Amino acid sequence: MNPPGARNAEAAKPEQPVLLACVDAGKRFGGVQALDAVSFAIRRGEIYGLIGPNGAGKTTLFNLLTGIYAPDSGQFTFDGTSLAGLKPHQVTLRGIARTFQNIRLFANLSALENVMIGRHARTHAGVIGAVLRNPATRAEEAAIARRAMELLEFVGIAARADDAAGSLPYGDQRRLEIARALATDPLLLALDEPAAGMNATESRALATLVRNVRDRGVTVLLIEHDMRLVMSLCDRVLVLDHGERIIEGSPAEVQRDPRVIEAYLGAELPASGVAKTGGAAT
């Protein structure tokens, strides 16, 4: 079963084309330089990690990418087209979906209804169709419900389809957010701390889900503080500190870099050689 946006892409390889390019992105809030000339590129089919200590600028970067903030300098190019001046809903229509640090579900609506809301970004029925309930509108609504149910099955919570989103266990709410984001048919899925608050078993299950998303053709951009998850899951990792780029490379390269150890991971790495868990993302 393929989630929306499936392109049958292979796992990330050096020759894969660039999907998202960020060039010299800058953002200032008053006297604070939240991002300073940050550049990176994400290739199709990658799971790309974004890490850094508190105040590094990670969430600011996500907000620039998804149209919540406008950059003071620099630009984002996605699938060959500039994202300059686009509003969040326009970025979504271009093919970028995201989740948030703090879960943003409609708590009183069912899990199925939450995913259906996400799917409406790709529907065609207008106000007149919604009011008159013509055959085309009814057929489209039935298709939305079917696709939403498929996505709930894909993320592993189909049995909770009729339950209120707010009643779901925390880990299932995170999965529901991912299903709702996938309902928009993304080429790129941006996950902002999806493992926050999860136990080790839930985190391992999440890693499997993220791989399944990537294996079906959706590129993934991941902010995460569970360093064991990042280092085992991501193809490449970008490290920020105080709004500046420190290093971009493979997990092994990042873990060995002394600037990363000093700025983010502490004075030493765990005996396993995998980075320690950090604090809250910013």
Judge if 175 and 196 occupy the same domain.
no
Output the pTM of the full model.
Answer: 0.83
* Percentage of residues of the chain with pLDDT beyond 70: 83
pLDDT tens readout for residues 161-182: 999 999 999 999 999 999 999 9
Average pLDDT over residues 229-249: 93
Q: Which amino acid is at 156?
A: G
Residue 75 lies inside a defined structural domain of this protein? yes
Convert 245-276 to b/e letters by CB count within 10 Å (16 or more is b). bbbbeebeebbebeebbebbbeeebeeeebbe
Map residue 244 onto helix, strand or coil: strand
| One domain for residues 274 and 162 | no
Considering 185, 219, 236, which residue would you say is the last residue of a domain? 185
Q: Which amino acid is at 90?
A: Q
**Residues 16 and 59 occupy one common structural domain:** yes
Q: Say which residue, 163 or 104, is predicted with more confidence.
A: 163
**What is the C-alpha separation between 264 and 103, in angstroms, rounded?**
25
Band of residue 132 on the pLDDT scale cut at 50, 70, 90: low
Residue finishing a domain among 151, 185, 219: 185
Q: Is pLDDT at 278 greater than 60 in this prediction?
A: no
Give the pLDDT band of residue 122 (cuts 50, 70, 90).
Answer: low
Query: 40-77, pLDDT tens digit by residue?
Result: 999 999 999 999 888 899 999 999 999 999 999 999 99
112 and 89 assigned to the same domain:
no
Residues 200, 166, single domain; the answer is no
Q: What are phi and psi of 260, to 5 degrees?
A: -70, -45
Q: Say if residue 242 is in the same domain as residue 255.
A: yes
Which tokens hold the place of 190?
């941006």
Which structural domain range is residue 129 located in? 108-185
Q: What is the mean pLDDT of residues 244-273?
A: 75
> Does 100 reside within a domain?
no
Report d(CA 157, CA 271) in Å as an integer: 36
pLDDT confidence of residue 267: 42
Distance CA 280, CA 246 (A): 19
Please check whether residues 193 and 177 belong to one and the same domain.
no
pLDDT of amino acid 2: 52
| 140 domain-assigned | yes
Q: CA-to-CA distance for 183 and 142, rounded, in angstroms?
A: 14
Mean pLDDT of 222-226: 89
Examine the domain organization and report whether 115 and 180 are in the same domain: yes
Question: Tell me, what CATH number does 221's domain have?
Answer: 3.40.50.300
Does some domain include residue 164? yes
Question: Is there a single domain that holds both residue 192 and residue 89?
Answer: yes
Stretch 209-232: mean pLDDT, rounded? 93
- The whole-angstrom separation of Cα 53 and Cα 56 is 6
Same domain? For 193 and 179 the reply is no
Edge-to-edge strand order for the sheet containing 219-223?
A: 96-98, 188-192, 219-223, 47-51, 236-241, 244-249
Domain tally, the chain: 2
Do 243 and 174 fall within a single domain? no
Q: Which residue has the higher pLDDT, 189 or 171?
A: 189
In a domain, 240, yes or no: yes
Residue 173 placed within a domain: yes
Distance CA(6)–CA(154), nearest Å, equals: 13
Question: Residues 59, 81: contact at Cβ < 8 Å?
Answer: no
* Mean pLDDT (the chain, rounded): 85
Of 185, 202, 224, which residue constitutes the final position of a domain?
A: 185
Which band of pLDDT confidence, cut at 50, 70 and 90, is reported for residue 123? Answer: low
> Could you please report the per-residue DSSP string of 171-197?
HHHHHHHHHHHHTT--SEEEEESTTTT
The vertex-59 CA angle with 115 and 118, nearest 5°, equals 10
85 and 145 fall within a common domain: no
CA–CA distances in Å: residue 278 to residues 102, 223, 251:
17, 12, 16
Check residue 277 and give its pLDDT: 42
Domain-located, residue 103: no
Is pLDDT at 263 greater than 90 in this prediction? no
